[in-house]
Amino acid sequence: MISYHTTKIQDLSIFYREAGQPDLPTLVLFHGFPSASHMFRDLMPRLEKHFHLIAPDYPGFGQSSAPDRRQFAYTFDHLTEIMAAFVTKLNLTPAYFYVFDYGAPIGFRIAAQHPDWIKGIISQNGNIYQEGLGPKWADRQDFWNHPTPEKRASYRTAFAPATIKNQYLTGTLPGQVSPDGYTLDIAYTHAPGYTERQLDLIFDYQNNIKLYSEFQAYLRTYQPQLLAVWGKNDPSFIFPGAEAFKRDDPNTEVDLLDSGHFALETHASTIAQLIVQYFNV
């Protein structure tokens, strides 16, 4: 059974989902863009007999506080600071981390800063390698290198309903994906200030790529158990990014699924089974 909570972190209300008994191994689930913790709604019931599950919404996402960007810096460093404080306040460590999309640079920042917190990592389309960047990232590199108001405005299409729906459907067979996830994501785009804070994060994403070498160094040094489970048809974070984990961490298993970016929408049961088997919980 999933329960729903909020806690205060630096005057922010941080929403989170919880399932499983607290005496079980903890698994913290870090969501991606443009989603929130509801992306784990099908996975959590399948894992609650094996883990104590905690899935927060970042500031500016889902049901958590969304302060005005003039008072709150929407950067990945800042989101990481809030999430690390959240993990500390709830006394969740040591824990397994599940990282997806935006959750990867947040989760790997925390892992590199606090390696003793980490029991293992599940990376589901959570990239930290240049070879995992799909073709769209070349355009973003141009935006980062030569930013203009016009280029920034062009990324408003990332929040269009059709774009969000396509993120869910691309790489999947017809009729496999429920409309629930993308419909809620689209609804969240109508929140006040949503577009500008998300554009700030798109611009700041360049700093995640600059940290890839540090994330990889963490893996080489600490070699945590790592399960890279990937929707292999994802055009954003392509599957060579999953295979690359094995270069730095010999304790890596890679599983490529016939799905897209939001692989949990089609393969939640399979991913749950792979997690339980790999970590032997």
3-state secondary structure 162-191: HHHHHHHHCCCCCCCCCCHHHHHHHHHCCC
> 87 in helix, strand or coil?
helix
Q: Please give the backbone phi and psi of residue 107, each rounded to the nearest 5 degrees, phi first.
A: -65, -40
Using the Cα atoms of residue 65, residue 69, residue 70 and residue 74 in order, give the sign of their dihedral.
positive
> 139 in helix, strand or coil?
helix
Query: Region 7-17: what's the mean pLDDT?
Result: 98
Of 4-8, 134-138, 253-257, where does mean pLDDT reach its minimum? 134-138
Query: Region 170-184: what's the mean pLDDT?
Result: 97
Closest alpha carbon to 198 in 145, 261, 152, 262? 152
pTM of the model: 0.97
Is 267 part of the annotated catalytic residue set?
Answer: no
Instruction: Report the 10 Å Cβ neighbour count for 116.
Output: 9
Whether residue 215 contacts residue 239, with contact meaning beta carbons closer than 8 Å, is answered with no
Task: Map out the domains of the chain as residue ranges.
Answer: 3-279
Query: Region 32-43: what's the mean pLDDT?
Result: 98
Q: What is the CA radius of gyration of the chain?
A: 17
Average pLDDT over the chain, rounded to an integer: 97
Partners of residue 229 on adjacent β-strands: 255
Query: Region 229-250: what's the mean pLDDT?
Result: 98
115 preceded by a cis bond (ω within 30 of 0): no
Q: Residue 4's pLDDT band (boundaries 50, 70, 90)?
A: very high
| Selected catalytic residue, list 31, 52, 261, 267 | 261
pLDDT of residue 6: 98
> 56 in helix, strand or coil?
strand
Do β-strands 95-99 and 52-56 pair in parallel, antiparallel, or remain unpaired? unpaired
How many alpha carbons lie under 13 Å from residue 69 in its C-beta half-sphere? 13
User: Which pLDDT tens digit goes with each residue over 85-139?
Assistant: 999 999 999 999 999 999 999 999 999 999 999 999 999 999 999 999 999 899 9
Partners of residue 6 on adjacent β-strands: 15
Residue with tokens 């692989």: 263
3-279 CATH fold: Rossmann fold (3.40.50)
- Show the 3-state SS of 180-231: HHHHHHHHHCCCCCHHHHHHHHHHHCHHHHHCHHHHHHHHHHHCCCEEEEEE
Q: Residue 255's pLDDT band (boundaries 50, 70, 90)?
A: very high
pLDDT of residue 98: 99
User: Which residues make Cβ contacts (< 8 Å) with residue 67, sequence separation at least 6?
Assistant: 12, 59, 60
pLDDT of residue 19: 98
